[in-house]
Amino acid sequence: MEVADADIQRRLAKPYSLVLRDARQEMSATIELFSDVLRDRQRRYLGGMIEFGRKGNGLLEVRRMWFVKYNKPVYFQPKEVHQILRKAKHILVPKKHKPPFMRDLQDFLKRMQARKARVIPVCESCIRNDRLTILSKRNVVKVSTNEVACLSCARSDMHIDLKSIGAKLSKPMLRYMDHQLSRVKSVTEVVELLKPGFDPVYNSEITMYDELQAGKLVEGRSIDDLDIPDKLKDILKEDGLKQLLPVQELVVEAGLLKGEDLLIVSSTSSGKTLLGELAGIPQALEGKKLIYLSPLVALTNEKYNAFRKRYKKLGLRVGIRVGMSRIDIGKDGKVIVDTDVRKAQVICATYEALDLLFRSGENKQIGDIGTIIVDEIQNLAEEERGPELDGLLARMRFHYPKAQVLALSATVGSPEQLAKELKLKLVEYHGRPVPLERHLVFARNDEDKRRIIRRLVDAEFRTKSSSGNKGQSIIFTFSRRRAHSISDWLREHGIRSAVYHGGLSYNKRRSVEYSYAKQRYPCVVTTAALGAGVDLPASQVIFESLAMGADWISTAEFEQMLGRAGRLGKHDRGRVYLIVQPERKYHGGQDKYEDEIATELLAGDIENVEPFADTERCAEQILATICSTGLTELKSVARFYKQMLSATVPPSDALKHLVRTHMIRVREGGAHPTDLGKATSISFLTPSEGFDVAKHVKTMDTLEIAIKLSPFENAYLSNKLQQEVNAAFKTYMPTRLFSGVFSDISNVGTPGTGASRLPPWVFSIFGKWAQTFFKCECKMYPDCDHGKIEFGKWVVERRKEGLNPTGIARELRKEFEIWVYPGDIFSWLDSLIHHLKAVQRVAKVAGETDINEEIEEQIARIEKPKQESDKKQETEQKEETE
């Protein structure tokens, strides 16, 4: 008892607050002691009871009081109680727990010269758990129709409610839900997010994650005030460009027109490309050329057409280099013919097309370069394209050290570090052209996702911006087949939808673009892989999934895609919706769930640009540098190589690899490219690929060599066949023909595999596959590439017969139940022609000159099969006549 009394006295010696509330006994009150600092969820130090009585005159008095410590009551005399009450910094009475004698209690406290009791709203859940939280607008949350609680207790209630409806969320997503609760202040409304039938349009306030505001007000100067030629000012004003946008003003202030090399990081549609024109066109008028570089043929062609239309009035010639073959396939594909860049003052090119001029030693024909615009500089981080772009930047600076370099990007992680490494001055602008709302919506299954998409698309299309434009949507998903499935479902449910991806024919893509621009489609469904290449004026972007093929999309890719929502001059704001299915993975190799990925993407930590190249890629760039620059001294080559960001392999290792593959010879302290090395570099082959081609060119069919360099991968089972296989084997089988599962057709009939449930027509199809594609008898079968090679040869033969990509795709579907997109066939045939030319170059070096004519004929029959067939018939008829 003495210990308990001592503990209580020590506690009473410190500042404290008292809470008095009604008790079951008449004329009694519960008394609780808390800290004098009124924090949320503070724990009770002492608890007890105070009993009152009345004097003869009716006034209230203390009869006895006690605190309980160690399960034992410690009693206090009335005078001690008076002292305890007077010393309290706060005396609080919960609003719902006022003693019946509250007025007399206030009078008693006044007579005792204690503080007046404050009646306050408190969290009932906290009180029940011996804690105290005073409720205010800051922390009060509605937990039911008639009950409120503090934020902490409301979170606990929300977590219980989520479990009761079967919602299993990752820890990061639970933290997000906690955040939403603190914003929305209603457990019922937040839990509603995960209930079936939730309407995201009606409840947009609940789904809102945040809103990215338009950029800070930066007053852009008038075009007339720029230090550029008057005739350029007139051209820009004719196009409606009268005043600089915020990022443009910042870049001009940073030295754009004074030759400063710059890294410009700003959102999509913020006017970055025009900055390159402001710097480069005045120099082009003075005889120094402007080069615009991009990773995509479509983007390069778009800028080529825009520049040609704008600057022909200034007498400037615009040229293009994209390196396409001349395949004549009618409306199935557009062949962009390279122009003579020697006569052009403005040159639009893809990275590889410009680098080909360097590698082949033809860069002198370009002339003097004044300005180089490198669009999508974040491609430095790509595994395949990164080392190539890195090497190209180094080679450009070697050949044109005085040229102004402007690197552009909408999404770069650690831009300060990248600018430092590239020796560029950074101008970063975070503002968007229009405000952007970001929303998060939950779905229980695919059907739920589609219902939500339909509701969002329909509601957006019914709205009009202040400029009179209807709201249109872009829907991103993880595969082409899924894009078609979603689009078909939307059309069946009253939404006019179109699919848009690289596998479509050129004519179909242009048709979709035109109809979308005319606002005939409320939405297009596309793949995440095409995110950077989609330039459709959407007000709303919807992520049906957060995957790209077998991988989750990166933050940089996410930012690139959401940047498509909201276009200045067309829309008043943009909207982005992430439709997330908790506990969903799209591929077995994914280590996180979709809801967890959603929180990471919305947090917006963009990955750093950290180029990496293995020995093969590093050796390829060193070889390209030696062939392009003429540098041979080993020290000079090593010094140049170390300037590259992707130089992760010691130069000695890369040089040894080049020697082993016969790409260079080292003598007298110098590295000299062999003829094979030159042919390999010009062909954009890796050293190992060049070496293998040289080894097989004498014994292997040239077409097979070319196909092996880039086998056709994008062949899929038709929907009809896929459904039968899935049903028979009672699992979701891969859709790709060359996934490995279907390569060994001989195992399909193995007992117990489910093959017995397959209908006869499926066995017939598998038999055709075995006879046509999977007929290899080599030791490596079925892990060899012969199936892909035979498939490629079949496609080439159909092309030589005069079929266009659409016709070839139709034959594959009809004959083999294999689904292939015409756009993929066109791209593959174009790539095949480049690889045939590579084989031709290597064969010439190897002394196999007789192969030259054979390859020329192969290329001609692929590019223009009908013309070559007619020529062949004319020759045969002429020979018969003679």
Confidence band (pLDDT; 50, 70, 90) for 246?
Answer: confident
- What is the total count of domains within the chain? 6
Q: Say how far apart CA 385 and CA 351 lie, in whole Å.
A: 9
Are residue 475 and residue 492 in the same domain, yes or no? Answer: yes
Question: What are the beta bridge partners of residue 538?
Answer: 565
Residues ≥6 apart with Cβ < 8 Å to 223: 233, 236, 237, 241, 242, 243, 244
Region of 419 please: left (phi>0), alpha (psi -120 to 50) or beta. alpha
Least confident range from 421-435, 585-599, 770-784: namely 770-784
User: What is residue 187's DSSP assignment?
Assistant: H
Q: How many residues are listed for the chain in this entry?
A: 882
Are residue 122 and residue 146 in the same domain, yes or no? Answer: no
pLDDT of residue 563: 84
pLDDT over 70 (residue 536): yes
pLDDT over 80 (residue 131): yes
Tell me the per-residue pLDDT of 343-363, one tens digit each, with 9 for 90 and over: 899 999 999 999 998 898 888
* Single-letter residue type at 730: K
Distances in whole angstroms, Cα of residue 75 to Cα of each of 4, 5, 72: 11, 9, 10
Residues ≥6 apart with Cβ < 8 Å to 362: 356
pLDDT of residue 688: 95
Contacts 24+ apart (CB under 8 A), 194-201: 194/162, 194/165, 194/167, 194/442, 194/444, 194/582, 195/165, 196/444, 196/448, 198/441, 198/442, 198/452, 199/455, 200/439, 200/441, 200/452, 200/455, 200/456, 200/577, 201/455, 201/456, 201/459
pLDDT over 80 (residue 291): yes
Residue 834's CB: how many other CB atoms inside 10 A? 18
Tell me the per-residue pLDDT of 684-701, one tens digit each, with 9 for 90 and over: 999 999 999 999 998 889
* Single-letter residue type at 556: A
CATH code of 324's domain:
3.40.50.300
pLDDT of residue 530: 64
Are residue 445 and residue 349 in the same domain, yes or no? Answer: no
Domain for residue 216, yes or no? Answer: no
CB contact at 8 A, 264 and 378: no
pLDDT over 90 (residue 474): yes
Are residue 490 and residue 596 in the same domain, yes or no? Answer: yes
Residue 687's CB: how many other CB atoms inside 10 A? 27
Are residue 593 and residue 721 in the same domain, yes or no? Answer: no
CATH code of 629's domain:
1.10.10.10
Q: Say how far apart CA 447 and CA 429 lie, in whole Å.
A: 40
CB contact at 8 A, 450 and 523: no
Tokens of 663: 């790409």
The whole-angstrom distance between residue 616's C-alpha and the CA centroid of its chain comes to 28
Which among 731, 795, 722 has a CA at the least distance from the CA of 762?
722
**What b/e readout covers 639-668, taking b as 16+ CB neighbours within 10 angstroms?**
ebbeebbbbebebeebbebbeebbbbeeee
pLDDT of residue 737: 85
Domain for residue 204, yes or no? Answer: no
pLDDT of residue 333: 66
pLDDT of residue 872: 47
Are residue 337 and residue 422 in the same domain, yes or no? Answer: yes
CATH code of 824's domain:
1.10.3380
Sign of CA dihedral 81, 84, 87, 88: negative
Annotate 755-794 with DSSP letters as a single string: GGGS-HHHHHHHHHHHHHTS---STTTTSSSHHHHHHHHH
pLDDT over 70 (residue 751): no
pLDDT over 60 (residue 844): yes
CB contact at 8 A, 332 and 826: yes
More confident call, 875 vs 286: 286
* Single-letter residue type at 378: Q
Mean pLDDT, rounded, of the chain: 88
Which among 572, 597, 567 has a CA at the least distance from the CA of 582?
597
pLDDT of residue 586: 80
Domain for residue 32, yes or no? Answer: yes
pLDDT of residue 747: 58
Residue 290 belongs to domain spanning: 223-429
pLDDT above 90: percentage of residues in the chain: 56
Domain for residue 26, yes or no? Answer: yes
pLDDT of residue 613: 81
Tell me the per-residue pLDDT of 59-96, one tens digit each, with 9 for 90 and over: 999 999 999 998 899 999 999 999 999 999 999 999 99
Which domain-ending residue is among 115, 132, 149? 132
Tokens of 58: 């009716």
Are residue 236 and residue 309 in the same domain, yes or no? Answer: yes
pLDDT over 80 (residue 56): yes
CB contact at 8 A, 74 and 47: no
Are residue 626 and residue 753 in the same domain, yes or no? Answer: no
Q: Say how far apart CA 579 and CA 576 lie, in whole Å.
A: 10
pLDDT of residue 217: 61
Q: Say how far apart CA 410 and CA 431 lie, in whole Å.
A: 11
Tokens of 170: 């990752």
In this prediction, residues 9-25 reach a mean pLDDT of 93
pLDDT over 70 (residue 437): yes
Are residue 285 and residue 414 in the same domain, yes or no? Answer: yes
Domain for residue 551, yes or no? Answer: yes
Domain for residue 882, yes or no? Answer: no
Tell me the per-residue pLDDT of 486-519, one tens digit each, with 9 for 90 and over: 999 999 999 999 999 888 888 888 899 899 999 9
pLDDT over 70 (residue 449): yes
pLDDT over 90 (residue 740): no
Q: Say how far apart CA 810 and CA 821 lie, in whole Å.
A: 9
pLDDT over 80 (residue 750): no
* Single-letter residue type at 203: N
In this prediction, residues 429-454 reach a mean pLDDT of 91
3-state class (DSSP) for residue 819: strand
Domain for residue 23, yes or no? Answer: yes
pLDDT of residue 534: 61
CB contact at 8 A, 310 and 239: yes
Q: Do the strands 547-548 and 497-500 form a parallel or antiparallel pair, or are they unpaired?
A: unpaired
Distances in whole angstroms, Cα of residue 497 to Cα of each of 472, 536, 605, 606, 768: 11, 14, 33, 32, 36
Distances in whole angstroms, Cα of residue 154 to Cα of each of 178, 184, 209, 298, 611: 9, 12, 19, 52, 47
Tell me the per-residue pLDDT of 630-674, one tens digit each, with 9 for 90 and over: 888 888 888 888 888 888 889 999 999 999 999 999 988 889 999
Confidence band (pLDDT; 50, 70, 90) for 118?
Answer: very high
Q: Say how far apart CA 246 and CA 135 lie, in whole Å.
A: 44
User: Residue ranges of the alpha helices (H) in 208-344?
Assistant: 230-238, 246-253, 272-285, 297-311
Least confident range from 199-203, 610-614, 778-782: namely 778-782
pLDDT over 60 (residue 157): yes
Confidence band (pLDDT; 50, 70, 90) for 746?
Answer: low
Are residue 248 and residue 189 in the same domain, yes or no? Answer: no
Which domain-ending residue is among 687, 718, 739? 687
The whole-angstrom distance between residue 593's C-alpha and the CA centroid of its chain comes to 16
CB contact at 8 A, 50 and 31: yes
Are residue 278 and residue 160 in the same domain, yes or no? Answer: no
Which domain-ending residue is among 364, 396, 429? 429
pLDDT over 50 (residue 880): no
pLDDT above 70: percentage of residues in the chain: 94
CB contact at 8 A, 641 and 651: yes
Confidence band (pLDDT; 50, 70, 90) for 882?
Answer: very low
Are residue 180 and residue 50 in the same domain, yes or no? Answer: no
Q: Say how far apart CA 103 and CA 93 lie, in whole Å.
A: 12
* Single-letter residue type at 770: A
Which among 511, 481, 486 has a CA at the least distance from the CA of 497?
486
pLDDT over 80 (residue 105): yes
Domain for residue 218, yes or no? Answer: no
* Single-letter residue type at 335: V
Q: Say how far apart CA 758 and CA 364 lie, in whole Å.
A: 63
Confidence band (pLDDT; 50, 70, 90) for 745?
Answer: low
Q: Say how far apart CA 645 and CA 626 lie, in whole Å.
A: 18
